[in-house]
């Protein structure tokens, strides 16, 4: 990554000589010879360790290393990473696609990457590295040979998307939807829309693609996709099959090995963005054959005759309903059980949202509904019909119940990540 070394040298007026950078790391355990290590937070405790591993360069804020030629001392490591990433991006010919939205960002990013990387050298945000640290870190993974980068961009408060856009220098952008996420800080859905839609100021109008059925997004100028006829790209004939979903976009047929209407939308956004950058329909369909989704996104896991659908990475009222709808429609002879846990960052209406989700689940034809978490417990007090509901205060009890009574069942696990529901599957 010679360009990156040049950028750092120019920014900090350093002549590196024969030094090189193999890869950029934030985790000391992953450092190999030639890597650049950003010592963020407690990373400074591992500087000696990464130098022994022959890291090419360490960037930290600890003056005790100022005499070491392999260490660059800065005032703020995160701000330095952002600055370096912004300048490095300016030196790259790569086209960057930003993915923004309340729900579906990670899955849309994964689908789009599967399509684009089947033809071009590309990079994507790994996991959920989508904040003020994750975005610059992702950009610093991009190599000079790469043609495209897919950058997931998240936020939890005002001004964050603008900061990320300034770092990323986007060429294209997708907005998946606007939901009731981060209301603890954003207060209402309109504020969420105003924050996320800021990406429109950083890409050309015809390079912005969004879900046009969303009541907020439909007001934007750009290219829209959705089930309604007023969209530029119209989704129709959606069908949930045993091995995935079938649908049309402007009368062209597509098949994807994912489940649910929400993944139909995520796939459609990815398909049309791939075409927007110049890929053919044949290219797109080839890329759709080998989709790899980040774990805990409606992930199917078989364990001891029990099929788990692990959708426990995160949760909001919108994503809860999407998951429950999809789960209800799955064709199976097995009884269906849902395990629902607390949703976070919903602000003053959080109890209202939890009551709504419990009531929504009760209207579905599920064998049993299991609730977990303090918010779900309080919401359950407001529910009159509790006959089909079991409340648990610890995950080990849920696990024991499943092992004793729910063998050979189909079980959906859904809740915000802080609940650590995935431990039930362990």
The closest alpha carbon to 211, from 195, 233, 244, belongs to 233
Domain with residue 104: its CATH number is 3.40.1190.10
> Would you state the pLDDT for residue 45?
94
Average confidence (pLDDT) over 43-60: 95
- Indicate the burial class of 321 (C-beta count within 10 angstroms; 0-12, 13-18, 19 or more): middle
The closest alpha carbon to 111, from 285, 228, 247, belongs to 285
- Domain boundary pick from 290, 309, 328: 290
Residues 160 and 42 in one domain: no
Residues 61 and 128 in one domain: no
* Tens-digit pLDDT profile for residues 72-95: 999 999 999 999 999 999 999 999
> Would you state the pLDDT for residue 127?
80
> Would you state the pLDDT for residue 186?
78
Residue range of the domain that includes 26? 2-77
> Would you state the pLDDT for residue 324?
96
As a whole number, the mean pLDDT across the chain is 94
> Would you state the pLDDT for residue 370?
97
Q: In what order do the strands lie in the sheet with 71-73?
A: 24-25, 36-38, 57-60, 71-73
Residues 165 and 272 in one domain: yes
* Tens-digit pLDDT profile for residues 317-328: 999 999 999 999
Domain with residue 72: its CATH number is 3.40.1390.10
* Tens-digit pLDDT profile for residues 95-145: 999 999 999 999 999 999 999 999 999 999 998 799 999 999 999 999 999
Judged by average pLDDT, the poorest of 155-164, 223-232, 290-299, 375-384 is 290-299
pLDDT band at 234 (very low <50, low <70, confident <90, very high): very high
Judged by average pLDDT, the poorest of 46-50, 285-289, 355-359, 406-410 is 406-410
Evaluate if residue 32 carries a pLDDT over 80.
yes
pLDDT band at 337 (very low <50, low <70, confident <90, very high): very high
How many structural domains comprise the chain?
3
Q: Residue 53, Cβ neighbours under 10 Å: how many?
A: 17
Two tokens at 40? 């963020």
CA distance 298 to 313: 9
Q: pTM of this prediction? A: 0.88
- Asked if the structure places residue 83 within a domain, the reply is no
Residues 223 and 333 in one domain: no
Evaluate if residue 182 carries a pLDDT over 80.
no
> Would you state the pLDDT for residue 185?
79
Residues 282 and 305 in one domain: no
CA dihedral 386, 392, 397, 403 (to 10 degrees): 40
CA distance 243 to 259: 8
């Amino acid at each position: 990554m010679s360009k990156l070394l040049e950028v750092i040298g120019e920014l900090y007026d350093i002549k590196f000589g024969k030094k090189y950078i193999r890869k950029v790391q934030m985790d000391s355990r992953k450092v190999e010879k030639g890597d650049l290590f950003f010592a963020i937070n407690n990373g400074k405790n591992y500087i000696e360790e990464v130098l022994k591993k022959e890291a090419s360069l360490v960037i930290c804020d600890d003056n005790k290393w100022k005499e070491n030629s392999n260490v660059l001392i800065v005032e703020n490591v995160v701000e330095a990473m952002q600055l370096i990433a912004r300048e490095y991006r300016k030196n790259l010919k790569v086209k960057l696609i930003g993915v923004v939205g309340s729900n579906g960002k990670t899955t849309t990013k994964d689908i789009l990457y599967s399509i684009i990387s089947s033809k071009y050298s590309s990079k994507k945000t790994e996991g959920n590295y989508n904040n003020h640290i994750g975005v610059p870190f992702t950009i610093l993974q991009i190599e000079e040979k790469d043609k495209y980068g897919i950058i997931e961009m998240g936020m939890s408060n005002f001004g964050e998307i603008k900061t990320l856009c300034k770092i990323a220098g986007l060429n294209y952008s997708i907005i998946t939807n606007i939901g009731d996420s981060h209301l603890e800080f954003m207060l209402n859905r309109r504020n969420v829309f105003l924050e996320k839609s800021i990406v429109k100021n950083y890409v050309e109008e015809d390079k912005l693609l969004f879900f046009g059925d969303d009541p907020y997004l439909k007001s934007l100028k750009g290219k829209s996709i959705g089930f309604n006829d007023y969209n530029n790209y119209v989704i129709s004939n959606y069908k949930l099959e045993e091995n995935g979903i079938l649908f049309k976009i402007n009368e062209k047929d597509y098949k994807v090995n994912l489940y649910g209407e929400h993944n139909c939308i995520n796939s459609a956004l990815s398909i049309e963005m791939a075409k927007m950058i110049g890929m053919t329909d044949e290219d797109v369909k080839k890329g759709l054959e080998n989709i790899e989704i980040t774990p805990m996104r409606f992930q199917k896991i078989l364990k001891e005759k029990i099929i788990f659908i692990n959708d426990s990475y995160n949760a909001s009222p919108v994503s809860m309903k999407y998951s429950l709808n999809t789960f209800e429609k799955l064709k199976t002879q097995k009884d269906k059980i849902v395990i629902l846990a607390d949703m976070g960052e919903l602000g003053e209406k959080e109890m209202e949202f939890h009551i709504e989700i419990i009531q929504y689940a009760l209207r579905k034809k599920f064998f049993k509904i299991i609730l977990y978490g303090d918010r779900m417990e309080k919401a359950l007090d407001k529910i009159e019909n509790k006959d089909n509901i079991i409340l648990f205060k610890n995950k080990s009890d849920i696990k024991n119940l499943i092992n004793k009574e729910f063998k050979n069942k189909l079980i959906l696990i859904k809740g915000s990540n802080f609940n650590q529901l995935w431990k039930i599957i362990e």
